Amino acid sequence: MTREKHPLRARDLGYAQRICVAKAGKLMMETGQLSPRARVGLAVSGGVDSLAMLAVLHVRRRIVPFPVELMVLHLNPGFDPHNHAPLAALTAELGLAAHIEVTDFGPRAFSEENRKKSPCFYCAWLRRKRLFDLCAAYGLTHLAFGHNADDLAATFFLNMFQNGRVDGLSCRESFFEGRLTVIRPLLLVDKKTIIRAAKAWELPVFANPCPMAGKSMRHEAETWVQGICAGGKKRAVNLQHALGRWQLDRDAVGKAEDDDV
């Protein structure tokens, strides 16, 4: 596929694509996720959510009234050192800067090095630490994750049942005394819409070779939420709206408290 004909360069977007771009744009404006001359690192795993986030921010960069730089950050966990090839090809086609690194985080999470934590927790901790280091090394001001409305619901209930606390996923949060801002542009977009948009964009989603794929406690929470929502047509929509409003209110309170300090 030529660079000019790539779906991410097309002017006309389908319904699911427009929903993703519009909802992300509304959330980003309401929560101040971007600022002039922001340098945004996109944490792209190769899954459908993070690739859709890449597509959405690639489109929105042409919409926002100020310059924004994007850089793809991919940390291959080390189970298959070559499965990121489709992402490398995509970033080249789009002319996006990218840091693609093969790590040993996955095997280390299953080794004797990690005796106290679950493999998923340890691998995620290693990845996030490395992402923070890369943001500092490249002078990035923002780090974007592809978490969606389904992730928010799963995280909310996982925190209650596993950790005994009420917590979700912030739309926007600051780290390192404000030097880095973590954003989640797709947090109010449901997974089904994201999947449809990704197919329309012809995004090169590649499989997760991790042995824990589909077996983690997070996956269990996601399955539980899906089962509850399957009992009624409006349950999923109502849950997403309720948790979305709750998270926005929670973030607003947190921002107000930070401003008062």
| Predicted local confidence at residue 169, as pLDDT | 96
Q: pLDDT above 70 covers what percent of the chain?
A: 94
Cα–Cα dist 178/188, whole Å: 24
Edge-first strand listing for the sheet containing 180-183: 97-102, 68-76, 38-43, 142-144, 180-183, 172-175
Q: List the Cα angle 119/122/124 in 5-degree steps.
A: 105
The H-assigned helical ranges of 69-216 are 85-94, 105-109, 119-138, 149-158, 191-201
Sign of CA dihedral 73, 143, 111, 164: negative
Q: Mean pLDDT throughout 145-168?
A: 94
- Letter for the amino acid at 173? E
Secondary structure class of 144 (helix, strand, coil): strand
List, as own/partner pairs, every contact residues 115-120 make where C-beta atoms lie below 8 angstroms and the sequence separation is at least 24, other chains included. 118/216, 118/217, 119/211, 119/212, 120/212, 120/216, 120/217, 120/218
Q: Rounded to two decimals, what is the model's pTM?
A: 0.92
Mean per-residue pLDDT of the chain: 91
Q: pLDDT above 90 covers what percent of the chain?
A: 78
| Predicted local confidence at residue 261, as pLDDT | 52
Cα–Cα dist 177/134, whole Å: 17
C-beta of residue 189 within 8 angstroms of C-beta of residue 148: yes
Strand partners, 181: 142, 174
Q: Has residue 73 got a pLDDT over 70?
A: yes
Of the candidates 99, 93, 86, 97, the one whose C-alpha atom is nearest the C-alpha of residue 204 is 86
Residue pLDDT, tens place only, 86-139: 999 999 999 999 999 999 999 999 999 998 888 989 999 999 999 999 999 999
Q: Mean pLDDT throughout 235-255?
A: 92
Phi then psi dihedrals of residue 36, to 5 deg: -55, 135
| Predicted local confidence at residue 4, as pLDDT | 47
Domains of the chain: 7-260 (3.40.50.620)
Cα–Cα dist 57/43, whole Å: 12
